[in-house]
Structure 1
Amino acid sequence: MVSRNGDDGRFLTPSGAAAVWGSPEDTVSDDQVDFRAEPVPHIIVVEDDPPLRALLTRLLIENGYEATGVGDGEEMFRIMADRGSSPIDLILLDIMLPGESGLILCNRIREYSKVPIIIVSARGLEADRVAGLDTGADDYIAKPFSRSELLARVRALLRRAGESRIPPEAFSVTRLDFAGWSYFPKRRELLAPSKAEVSLTAAEHDLLQTLLRHPQRTIGRERLIELVRHRIGNPSDRSIDVLVSRLRRKLSGNRNKNALIRTIRGVGYMFAADVTGS
């Protein structure tokens, strides 16, 4: 049960832990929840403090999200791989966790996924925020914080993510095949039709994975900038164009260098080949 503590608008967890969010008028009653028929964003809360984990999960559910609370990285990866057809849309990730820290987990996720991540931590120094963002987090919020601020950050990040929902099979697929090529996401290996391995930079790997997960769909330059921001200093339209050009050359072989990655003038790029996963 959650109880108010005085008139400062803060809440206490059952254990008496410090408050994390705001004013009582923000509370959503059961009859205000929007139970929509269509799929709603699914958010994983990774927090080792059970009362706080329950509080965050409840807040998200009361505001129309599907939320799953877990206590460590092992549980998180199990949920990400076992969700069936329901995609993971966003992760709220604490830093101080049993086993691997939130920073290490964030870095591991970024090896093969662009699922939006908000780090939620009691460590609010500038160096802590920089470290979190440098490992691949999209946002960083320090405790204590208001519930309205957390929900606003969740809405903003989901809005920016747009069509980047990552289905569970993205975490279990071991091989992606296209036009005679084979790509192995987990070990980040690209094999040409001749079976020769083609060397890619970290940014080229990120770009290729993004294109392979959205075949025959236009991806805007702004979206690509967000996807590789942690790999490229001061990314811009020009830096994305150069990155695409480098990847094109490596994928061209003896064919037209634009055959696999097509330019959609004034918008962005499209991966033209069929992609199958196994």
Structure 2
Amino acid sequence: MDISILIVEDDDITRDCLADYFRQEQYKVHCAASAEEAEQRLQAEPVDLVLLDIRLPGKDGLTLTREIRAQADTGIILVTSRQDEIERIIGLECGADEYVSKPFNPRELLARTKNLARRVRAAAPRQPATTANLRRFDQWRVDLDRRLLLSEQDEATPLTHGEYQLLCAFIHHAGQTLSRDQLLDRIKNREWAPNDRTVDVLVGRLRRKLKDDPASPRIILTVHGAGYVFTPRAVPCCG
């Protein structure tokens, strides 16, 4: 798999070391020292993944994450210099797929990158097929192959990897109350900290995309002290 990655890092030594490491692993590597330079690179040549330092001169990595996610389903791995839960939560809310903390193990970073690249490629739009892997619930359809939410008017809303995994967990356990720990176990390829709020963040993002009023939700209900329950039953549909 020919994977293209953009490394956005203002520290010259770190950026060069990462670039050399990924090139040795047969990645096509682009580099940028700032968010502004990264934007120019992305306009010139789209990439599969962005490895993005949060703390950059000028525009920060969280702002760039939000802007990338508004335009494309590019894989985004955020890099932070410390274990900052608030920073991680904001990053996920902005649309990041993964995060790693400095100092990181290069092999772990490579494994996360490979997994995310595989998921991004699998979710990329394909040629129309005679059948689609669709599930219908409430007023929505979800295209499991392309990781898209489809409205009754056929408006498509892309799901990030975390949103997609969470929705799949809900669909497969409709009507059951799932605790946060159970949901975390079903969202793979991450390391969790105690009192991790990732599930709550992803539930909030899913509710917004499903137009499920958080003050009075119908689709994803909060069971106080227990977790969440997905109320509709998803059934296969043909388009």
> Does structure 2 retain, via aligned residues, the 8 Å contact 1:221–1:269?
no
Identify unmatched segments of 5+ residues in structure 2: 134-142, 150-157, 175-205, 212-234
**Correspondence for 2:93 among 117, 134, 148:** 134
Whole-Å Cα distance in 2 between the matches of residues 115 and 53 of structure 1?
A: 20
- 2:148 match: 224
Change (3 A) 1:215 1:56: same
TM-score by length of structure 2 reads: 0.57
> Does structure 1 retain, via aligned residues, the 8 Å contact 2:8–2:35?
yes
- 2:154 match: none
**Correspondence for 1:94 among 53, 64, 68:** 53
Offset at 1:120?
Answer: 1.0
Paired residue type of 1:82: A
Does the residue aligned with 2:30 lie in a helix, a strand or coil? strand
- 2:77 match: 118
CA RMSD of aligned residues (A): 3.2
1:59 equivalenced with 2:21 (yes/no): yes
> Does structure 2 retain, via aligned residues, the 8 Å contact 1:115–1:164?
no
> Does structure 2 retain, via aligned residues, the 8 Å contact 1:117–1:138?
yes
Paired residue type of 2:128: Q
Whole-Å Cα distance in 2 between the matches of residues 44 and 93 of structure 1?
A: 8
Offset at 1:230?
Answer: 7.2
Of residues 145-154 and 118-127 in structure 1, the stretch that sits farther from structure 2 once superposed is 118-127
Q: Where do residues 29-44 of structure 1 align in structure 2 (5 Å cutoff)?
A: 40-44=2-6
> Does structure 1 retain, via aligned residues, the 8 Å contact 2:97–2:161?
no
Paired residue type of 1:122: S
Identify unmatched segments of 5+ residues in structure 1: 1-38, 166-212, 245-264, 271-278
CA deviations 1:157-204 (Å, max 9, x no partner) are: 112223345xxxxxxxxxxxxxxxxxxxxxxxxxxxxxxxxxxxxxxx
Whole-Å Cα distance in 2 between the matches of residues 58 and 80 of structure 1?
A: 20
How many residues of Structure 1 are paired with residues of Structure 2 in the alignment? 159
**Which structure has the bigger radius of gyration?**
1
Of residues 147-156 and 118-127 in structure 1, the stretch that sits farther from structure 2 once superposed is 118-127
Sequence identity of aligned pairs in percent? Answer: 33
